[in-house]
Amino acid sequence: GQNIDQPTEMTATEGAIVQINCTYQTSGFNGLFWYQQHAGEAPTFLSYNVLDGLEEKGRFSSFLSRSKGYSYLLLKELQMKDSASYLCAVHTGGGNKLTFGTGTQLKVEL
């Protein structure tokens, strides 16, 4: 079966850095996605990791360790608009099938 774990909620301060972890145990692995979702809206793509290491894209970075079944999303210089749910999704098998974690609800405070 597929098992993807993320913390349910996190709170951070505006301007700070926050790291959202994701661990996974899946049958097969092609890559790992991070999506941002605001309430009532569709998810938006943030990053895609296939190889081990850190991918940096502006204020957002994503890290992957395939041997450990572990990824994290790093958000720097937090802004209030970053308050959202962050979904970790693992791409398994063919056909771009994604299995989503339960999401981490991030609240950014002043």
List residues near another protein by CB under 8 A. 31, 33, 40-45, 48, 87, 95-103, 105
What is the Cα–Cα distance from 21 to 18, expressed in whole angstroms?
A: 10
- Given the complex with another protein, which of 41 and 52 has the nearer CB atom? 41
CB of 79 to another protein, least distance (A): 22
CB of 45 to another protein, least distance (A): 5
What is the Cα–Cα distance from 34 to 76, expressed in whole angstroms?
A: 15
Dihedrals phi, psi of 82, to nearest 5 degrees = -80, -5
Chain Cα centroid distance, residue 9: 13
- Given the complex with another protein, which of 29 and 48 has the nearer CB atom? 48
- Given the complex with another protein, which of 87 and 106 has the nearer CB atom? 87
CB of 47 to another protein, least distance (A): 10
Alpha helices in the chain (DSSP H): none
